[in-house]
Chains A and B, each alone.
Chain A
């Protein structure tokens, strides 16, 4: 297969969320002695960019985003060892630990944020739902994270976001992490009140906010 064909296949495999096709073409890229970084940036990442744009336009939704992310990861499992072997410089965008706080079982918004961050090159540790402050902080420490994202969808679970920030202060870890909060009842006023670094009115805005904070 020609290089351009492989790159197009990688892009379309991600757009279609086809993990098998993504793996096959990642293998083909290596067999064709292509630069694995080029395969990632000019193939896979163009696919995630396309899906991301469609998502923001309301033409694609969470399933397409998640399936694109899974296809991207599947191909990267093939390409990553070669990238490391060749000691290629991959820009480390950052590590984010994301969770819905204690007492709250809602996950969709958080998962959208996680997926958008992953497709933008972040390493995301998604803790799921109903997690307490100390558990979140412990995972952030283990992952050597740069940021913590906290989701709450009810007025009575919002205090869980403040708990995480208060615990970070008490443990003298506040300056180590950027904290972004979001969720239905969460507002900029609440984020300011509890000392969060950023607030996202919706999932895409939260991901954008995290990206900006970590770039600064």
Chain B
């Protein structure tokens, strides 16, 4: 069975190729071949399909695809290749779960199945930026106080250090990387959850040197936290990512592979993107020895995960993975609309219904306003997400499909011009951390509306 040092060797000895040739002559044509050969087809009328055989075909297509294409190393311009047998051997020996957190907050992150009655694991908070450290702490502490929260994505806090804008790879990024871990640990302690695992390390770091430096134990990181190592879109890796893997494997820390294929980019439409997203689960196991995964397949044009075709691919890929690949996956969705808008809740409900009933092992509370607006996230979105996850676990895929179709009617046409919503300080009392009356009223109205269409809230 291949190990990580084999990957290092293949990065230096694999076939030499330009990146453009990898994209145009390997990735794109091989993906098209595989989609056709395995009959992977998108059905726009069924955003949450309940077809186990189709899901299994997507899985088989993803194994075949990865064996045909490999992964491109940008630093050496070589393709790291795997045989189909090596991929299957790696799956057979994958741990299938990961131990996270400490003390009372320790938990095992496991795989679910489609139509599973157990709720998906709730992963709270977002790696977003705030205008002040105090706001970041307040929001994180409120979010992790929910007993259902089993893990947190820590905030990047602010995008400045002493008034200077943080830049990738700069010393300021090192300060920001260390700061975001210490601030998150303080927030968790304040909420009485000191052992909660931080599963998106290190959000303030773009450069590998920052991730590795900020992860030193004296700054608060623990091996039972989780580090996400991104695949470069599409199907590429570099020495920065591999350096992080080498460091974490030597430490024995949790390694999370992150995949975010673009629907509309090199993957083409929904079928190809579903195959690639599923192949990324495999790539994490084979190339990074990952013991968990985080993914957010995304619509390249709208920059969100709530379009009909993305919901289909989320559902399909989740089913393919849950049924066949022993790695727990965190599903992250970016919503087009922002806080204090009904549209956000329609989108979040649709996303969580599709993912949860399709076997998502964990769901991150859907990110408002595409994750790009500063201060555009509040604890009310977390509360809603937790309630939705519980409701979704009472449904099967067919029931979820009917509800998602109704929800799409409410928001689909508005995606291109989605409302940005309010900032935290505009709809929450910053001192008390409580939602303002108008947001609470809107929240009550939308929950009633969603309950009326059939979502079984408690």
Please report A residues at the B interface, Cβ cutoff 8 Å: 58, 61-64, 66-67, 70, 102-109, 112, 154-157, 159-160, 184-187, 202-204
CA distance A103 to B206 in the complex (A): 7
Q: Report if B276 contacts A (CB, 8 A).
A: no
Q: Among A66, A67, A104, A202, which residue has its beta carbon within 8 angstroms of that of B168?
A: A104
Interface pick from B159-167, B403-411, B443-451: B159-167
Q: How far is the CB of B22 from chain A (nearest CB, A)?
A: 12
Q: Which B residue sits closest to A128, measured CB to CB? A: B19
Contacts A154-B206, A187-B372: A58 and B74 contacting too (C-beta < 8 A)?
no
Q: Report if B204 contacts A (CB, 8 A).
A: yes
CA distance A67 to B168 in the complex (A): 33
Q: Is the CB of B168 within 8 A of A61?
A: no
Q: Which of A108, A109, A154, A187 has the most CB of B within 10 A?
A: A108
B267: A residues at CB distance < 8 A: 61
Q: Is the CB of A61 within 8 A of B206?
A: no
A103: B residues at CB distance < 8 A: 167-169, 206-207
Q: Is the CB of B206 within 8 A of A203?
A: no
Contacts A58-B301, A106-B233, A155-B129: A63 and B206 contacting too (C-beta < 8 A)?
no
B265: A residues at CB distance < 8 A: 61-62, 108, 112
Contacts A63-B268, A103-B207, A204-B301: A108 and B262 contacting too (C-beta < 8 A)?
yes
CA distance A70 to B232 in the complex (A): 24
B156: A residues at CB distance < 8 A: 155
Contact with A along B204-233 (1 / 0, CB 8 A): 111100000000000000000000000011
Q: How far is the CB of B276 from chain A (nearest CB, A)?
A: 12
Q: Among A70, A104, A159, A184, which residue has its beta carbon within 8 angstroms of that of B165?
A: A159
Q: Is the CB of A156 within 8 A of B268?
A: no
CA distance A202 to B298 in the complex (A): 13
CA distance A160 to B206 in the complex (A): 13
B373: A residues at CB distance < 8 A: 187
Q: How far is the CB of A54 from chain B (nearest CB, A)?
A: 12
Q: How far is the CB of A212 from chain B (nearest CB, A)?
A: 19
Contacts A58-B301, A187-B372: A160 and B269 contacting too (C-beta < 8 A)?
no
CA distance A197 to B159 in the complex (A): 24
Q: Report if B427 contacts A (CB, 8 A).
A: no
Q: Is the interface of A mostly helix, strand, loop or mixed?
A: loop
Q: Which A residue sits closest to B32, measured CB to CB? A: A63
8 nearest CB pairs, A to B:
A103-B168, A108-B265, A156-B168, A159-B167, A61-B268, A63-B28, A185-B372, A157-B168
CA distance A34 to B275 in the complex (A): 45
Contacts A62-B265, A105-B238: A202 and B233 contacting too (C-beta < 8 A)?
no
A204: B residues at CB distance < 8 A: 301
Q: How far is the CB of B312 from chain A (nearest CB, A)?
A: 14
Q: How far is the CB of B207 from chain A (nearest CB, A)?
A: 7
Q: Report if B442 contacts A (CB, 8 A).
A: no
CA distance A187 to B166 in the complex (A): 17
CA distance A63 to B235 in the complex (A): 15
Given A184-B370, A185-B371, A202-B302, 15 other A-B residues pairs in contact with their CB atoms under 8 A: A61-B267, A61-B269, A62-B264, A62-B268, A105-B74, A106-B232, A108-B265, A109-B300, A154-B168, A156-B168, A157-B206, A159-B166, A184-B371, A186-B372, A203-B300
Q: Which B residue sits closest to A156, measured CB to CB? A: B168
Q: Report if B439 contacts A (CB, 8 A).
A: no
A185: B residues at CB distance < 8 A: 371-372
B234: A residues at CB distance < 8 A: 108
Q: How far is the CB of B298 from chain A (nearest CB, A)?
A: 9
Q: Is the CB of B233 within 8 A of A108?
A: yes
Q: How far is the CB of A51 from chain B (nearest CB, A)?
A: 13
Q: How far is the CB of B236 from chain A (nearest CB, A)?
A: 8
B302: A residues at CB distance < 8 A: 202
B370: A residues at CB distance < 8 A: 184
Q: Is the CB of B24 within 8 A of A66?
A: yes
Q: Is the CB of B269 within 8 A of A102?
A: no
CA distance A64 to B272 in the complex (A): 13
Q: Report if B303 contacts A (CB, 8 A).
A: yes
Q: How far is the CB of B81 from chain A (nearest CB, A)?
A: 21
Q: Report if B173 contacts A (CB, 8 A).
A: yes
Instruction: List 30 A-B pairs, Cβ < 8 Å.
Output: A61-B265, A61-B267, A61-B268, A61-B269, A62-B268, A63-B32, A63-B266, A63-B268, A64-B268, A67-B28, A103-B167, A103-B169, A104-B168, A104-B206, A105-B232, A105-B238, A106-B233, A108-B265, A108-B266, A154-B206, A155-B159, A156-B176, A156-B204, A156-B206, A184-B370, A187-B373, A202-B301, A202-B302, A203-B300, A204-B301
CA distance A204 to B74 in the complex (A): 27
Q: How far is the CB of A143 from chain B (nearest CB, A)?
A: 19
Q: How far is the CB of A2 from chain B (nearest CB, A)?
A: 33
Q: Which of B159, B204, B301 has the most CB of A within 10 A?
A: B301
Q: Which A residue sits closest to B28, measured CB to CB? A: A63
Q: How far is the CB of A100 from chain B (nearest CB, A)?
A: 11
B24: A residues at CB distance < 8 A: 66-67, 70
Q: Which A residue sits closest to B173, measured CB to CB? A: A156
Contacts A62-B264, A62-B266, A187-B372: A202 and B166 contacting too (C-beta < 8 A)?
no
A107: B residues at CB distance < 8 A: 233
Q: Which B residue sits closest to A105, measured CB to CB? A: B232
Q: Is the CB of B167 within 8 A of A156?
A: yes
Q: How far is the CB of A204 from chain B (nearest CB, A)?
A: 7
A187: B residues at CB distance < 8 A: 372-373
Q: Which B residue sits closest to A187, measured CB to CB? A: B372
A108: B residues at CB distance < 8 A: 233-234, 262, 265-266, 300
Q: Which of A109, A112, A156 has the most CB of B within 10 A?
A: A156
A64: B residues at CB distance < 8 A: 268
A58: B residues at CB distance < 8 A: 264, 301
CA distance A62 to B28 in the complex (A): 10
Q: Which A residue sits closest to B27, measured CB to CB? A: A63
Contacting A at CB under 8 A, from B151-188, are: 156, 159, 165-169, 173, 176
CA distance A70 to B205 in the complex (A): 37
